[in-house]
């Protein structure tokens, strides 16, 4: 098929979770609630960190960036799904599908890098506490975030440009609630070898390399904690990275489960996708705020000030 035929594809169909119209209101209410909780919780984290000078540290700087990435990551997929459920229209335009893929890759990759950077931050804080202010200076923190954004944008741009060169067949059905890249490639009529090679390379590198960095950091952290003589000191050291470890386990456990599973297009695959695209961003603020007294204090100040103004 000629490459020019791709312009004839004007839309795709996102089947989503439910074909039964009677369950649509339940799904709409569930995902709307989760989306609002995600937005509210992560916005509170950003407000708390920006308004409290005691939280202007590398750890909370990375946390606020993670909250921003989570807001954007969730906003890439859930609003469109809610519109489709409400209007009983499962279509998404060709341009909308490519755009959704583009932003999904950007913020998904950004989440991966931020979790890795936060693990490195905890490694330096626990294993090299005396050198922490020198190593984790503001210049390095800003550079780490900027490099993460650059790599995320580059990966997304390359993937999107390779998708634009493809032509698609008459089958336009994507068995997912968003334009999932791997499934969209199965609908293409033209050669997708380069796309698949790049997809597997990027998924492998972004899955293995950051996860290896996180694993190495925590091996060193556990080793340092075990050398602390007092049990109180061990608990205090471990509590500083317990929240991050919980988020990493949830994100990587479900994310890798989707891409390593042979039945990703199935309900099980979509459920796992919901876990790392919706549930994990929703739980992040609660995990960090419930286990962190500094965040709790800052949130109380923000909420107290808001109620006072009203």
At residue 304, the pLDDT reads: 66
At residue 155, the pLDDT reads: 92
For 181-203, the DSSP string reads HHHHHHTBSS--HHHHHHHHHHH
Parts of the chain with a pLDDT under 70: 1-9, 18-21, 233, 236-237, 255-269, 290-291, 302-310
DSSP state of 278: I
Q: How far is the C-alpha of 271 from the C-alpha of 263, rounded, in Å? A: 12
Per-domain residue ranges of the chain: 9-309
At residue 262, the pLDDT reads: 47
pTM listed for this prediction: 0.86
At residue 290, the pLDDT reads: 65
At residue 21, the pLDDT reads: 66
CATH of 9-309, one of 1.20.1070.10, 1.10.3470.10, 1.10.290.10, 3.40.50.300: 1.20.1070.10
At residue 9, the pLDDT reads: 65
At residue 260, the pLDDT reads: 58
At residue 264, the pLDDT reads: 46
Q: Tokens standing for 35? A: 């989306």
Q: What does R_g of the chain's alpha carbons equal in angstroms?
A: 21
At residue 151, the pLDDT reads: 93
Q: What is the 3-state secondary structure (H, E, C) of 209-257?
A: HHHHHHHHHHHHHHHHHHCCCCHHHHHHHHHHHHHHHHHHHHHHHHHHH
**pLDDT tens figures, 33-84:** 999 999 999 998 998 888 888 888 898 999 999 999 999 999 999 999 898 8
Lookup result for tokens 């989503």:
16
């Amino acid at each position: 098929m000629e490459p020019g035929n791709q312009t004839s594809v004007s839309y795709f169909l996102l089947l989503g979770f439910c074909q039964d119209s009677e369950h649509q209101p339940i799904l709409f209410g569930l995902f709307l609630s989760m989306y609002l909780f995600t937005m509210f919780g992560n916005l509170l984290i950003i407000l708390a960190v920006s308004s409290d000078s005691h939280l202007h540290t590398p750890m909370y700087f990375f946390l606020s960036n993670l909250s921003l990435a989570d807001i954007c990551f969730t906003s890439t997929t859930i609003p469109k799904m809610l519109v489709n459920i409400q209007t009983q229209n499962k279509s998404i335009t060709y341009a909308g599908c490519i755009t959704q893929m583009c932003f999904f890759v950007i913020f998904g990759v950004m989440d991966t890098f931020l979790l890795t950077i936060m693990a490195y931050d905890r490694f330096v804080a626990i294993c090299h506490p005396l050198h922490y202010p020198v190593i984790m200076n503001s210049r390095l923190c800003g550079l780490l975030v900027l490099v993460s954004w650059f790599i995320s944008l580059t990966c997304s741009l390359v993937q999107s440009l390779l998708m634009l060169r493809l032509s698609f067949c008459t089958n336009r059905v994507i068995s997912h609630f968003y334009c999932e890249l791997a499934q969209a490639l199965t609908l293409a009529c033209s050669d997708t070898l380069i796309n698949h090679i790049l997809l597997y390379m990027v998924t492998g590198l972004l899955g293995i390399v950051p996860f290896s960095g996180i694993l190495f950091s925590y091996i060193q952290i556990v080793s340092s904690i075990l050398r602390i003589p007092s049990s109180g000191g061990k608990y205090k050291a471990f509590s500083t990275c317990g929240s991050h470890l919980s988020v990493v386990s949830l994100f990587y456990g479900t994310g890798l489960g989707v891409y390593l599973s042979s039945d990703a297009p199935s309900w099980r695959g979509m459920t796992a996708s919901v876990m790392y695209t919706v549930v994990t961003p929703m739980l992040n603020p609660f995990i960090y705020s419930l286990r962190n007294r500094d965040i709790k204090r800052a949130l109380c100040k923000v909420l107290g000030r808001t109620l006072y103004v009203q």
